[in-house]
Structure 1
């Protein structure tokens, strides 16, 4: 009885072990797509970036196969064979591309496929896909290193700039540390604000003036639209032109007359320019003045004479009557 129990117990453990082994095989096989019908595609890379046999193949974020085989191709290229599920035939076209990615930031390397253009036919077993150019993780790290170096340089430059500002070096530093310069800058800004306000006011006044000129009852509008006003203005302009011509003629005559006054071939010019004639005229005027005074004295003497007294009295009476 004891031997039978032991045999039964051992048989049960063996059966359980076999079941676990078979389950594990099917589980791993389902993960590796071992028992799924598939077809093969290949891609030729210049650098597989650590890609290994058994790594996954992804399409639109879904696992569709695994890497079946890796071998060198040509001089330095690497050919990767992909085992793809049969159901994916109707999604992948012949112009589809492949690139190497990563399962997460530091995860395993994977091959990522793109579907291609629907105008092209679907892929067949053994087709070779093109390679999509993309940045590798190493390239990204190199770019990050360059960016970090540039960032360090920029930070250093900014540190120097900040130190110069604190020390009052340069125009900006002087503006921050020199109170007088800051006040001058403040005054300049204030003046600019006033100039801006004045300019805005001038523009507004010009706009108002322009609207006034274009108003219906304005002079400019009448000049542009009213033919009667325009005719009057035209007539006034003609009159002004005629007056200007007359004034010009008068100025020419005056100039001509003044020119004659500067010569001695006429009476006025002789009087103005000949000293001898002027003296003679002066003597004549003096004699006339003396003669006039003497004539007045003679007339007074005649009025006192008894022979002419009656005549002057009668003349005085007639003069009073006529008034």
Structure 2
């Protein structure tokens, strides 16, 4: 069976189109994997890559900038990941950037996220190793959640035990909840405390008033506390009082000694108080003195009416009346 020219043309067109599609597909895949563009190699070391595979994306600040080129396990705790980064992006990356392995969404493939470290870092060089940061995995979160649930269950159990003990009246809190008498006593105690606090507040107000009066410059206590001269004078007065007290004690001692001597029959005072004859003589003498004073008054009265002394007494009477009028005028003024 001969193949017509039309069939040959169709076959050729099919082969050309298929080849073009294959070449385009290879180019797109290679471009995605950075096979045909200029790339820059950097490295990061992780403790756990969490399912990272060759060809997974590398993102810088949320933008795809490269792919994972190689994964090499150095030891049981260190895994080296080589990455190819687009050369145009490297100039924006610094040595203080951080690499972290994460997932692309909740159930997507794993990616390497590079977090910018700030403007203080140096530009990256070919083959530099970035610092890595361990991200909390889902397994770690579940483990932590399991521990938290266990602690919550234990806490709930203990709270239930405390609640049962309170309901049964055990412990101080149980007594407070169930014992009405204790509750009344507590209420009375709180009332007493309230009253006491009010009294304390009143005392504090009084103390405040005292302090305010002390701050008054006209107050004696303020002068004693703030004025050094007045304080010195006050100390001098107190010293004089102390000395006077000592002198008074000395006088009292002397009086006690005199009284003792009188009681013991010593001295003239005891003689005067004890000798009855002397007392009688003193009485007679006093009577004679009174009698003599009466006679002296009579003689003075006789002299007043005598012709020789009458002018003298009148002159004395006029002087006395003049002095009385003078005093009267002074009182009226």
TM-score, normalisation: structure 2: 0.65
Of the structure 1 ranges 109-118 and 152-161, higher mean CA displacement relative to structure 2 is found in: 109-118
Unaligned 5+ runs, structure 2: 278-290, 299-333
Q: Deviations over 1:85-140 (max 9, x none)?
A: 22221122234332222333454322222334645442233333333344444333
Q: Which residue number corresponds to residue 53 of structure 1?
A: 54
> Relative to 1, partners in 2 of residues 1:65 and 1:225: Cα closer, same or farther, differing over 3 Å?
closer
- 1:129-155 Cα offsets, whole Å, 9 max, x none, are 333344444333333332332222222
What residue in structure 1 maps to residue 141 of structure 2?
140
Report the alpha carbon displacement of residue 71 of structure 1 after superposing the two structures with TM. 2.9
Aligned length: 281
The 3-state SS of whatever aligns with 1:205 is: helix
Q: 1:206: Cα distance to partner?
A: 0.8
User: Which residue of structure 2 lines up, in the alignment, with residue 246 of structure 1?
Assistant: 247
How far, CA to CA, are the matches of 2:192 and 2:106 in structure 1?
59
Q: Is the 8 A contact 1:215 1:221 kept in 2?
A: yes
Instruction: Sort the Cα spacing of 1:36 and 1:200 in 2 relative to 1 into closer, same or farther, 3 A.
Output: farther
Q: Distance in 2 between matches of 1:125 and 1:235?
A: 95
Against the structure 1 CA distance between its residues 225 and 182, is the aligned structure 2 distance closer, same or farther, given a 3 Å change threshold?
Answer: closer
1:157 maps to 2:158: yes
* In structure 2, distance between residues paired with 1:197 and 1:141: 57
- Structure-1 separation of matches of 2:228 and 2:69: 99
Residues 44 and 73 of structure 1 are in contact (CA less than 8 Å); yes or no, is this contact kept in structure 2?
Answer: no
Distance 1:242 1:94, change over 3 A: closer
CA distance in 1, matches of 2:61, 2:228: 82
Deviation at 1:225, TM superposition (A): 7.0
Structure 1 equivalent of residue 282 of structure 2: none
Q: 1:159 to 1:9 in 2, by over 3 A?
A: farther
In the TM superposition, what whole-angstrom CA distance separates every residue of 1:196-226 from its partner, at most 9, and x where no partner exists?
2211121111111111222233222344678
1:23 shift after superposition: 6.6
| 8 A Cα contact 2:46 2:133, kept in partner | no
1:187 aligns with 2:188: yes
Residue 221 (str. 1) matches residue 225 (str. 2): no
Matched, 1:88 2:100: no
Contact 2:47–2:134 (Cα < 8 Å) also in 1 = no
Q: Distance in 2 between matches of 1:211 and 1:48?
A: 76
Q: Which residue of 2 is the match for residue 296 of structure 1?
A: none
CA RMSD of aligned residues (A): 4.5
Cα distance in 1, alignment partners of residues 90 and 228 from structure 2: 89
Q: Secondary structure at the match of 1:49?
A: coil
Deviations 1:168-221 (A, max 9, x none): 221112112211111111121221122122111211111111112222332223
C-alpha change, 1:122 and 1:178, in structure 2 (3 Å) is same
- Whole-Å separation in 2 of the counterparts to 1:74 and 1:125: 24
Aligned residue for 1:184, secondary structure, equals helix
Structure 1 gaps, min length 5: 271-280, 288-314
8 Å CA contact retained: 1:93, 1:123:
yes
- SS of equivalent to 1:129: strand
Residue 38 of structure 1 aligns with which residue? 39
Partners of 1:89 and 1:225 in 2: CA distance: 78
CA contact (8 A) 2:168 2:174 kept: yes
Q: CA deviation at 1:41?
A: 2.0
Q: Comparing 25-34 with 64-73, which one deviates more in the overlay?
A: 25-34
Indicate the residue corresponding to 2:213 in structure 1.
Answer: 212
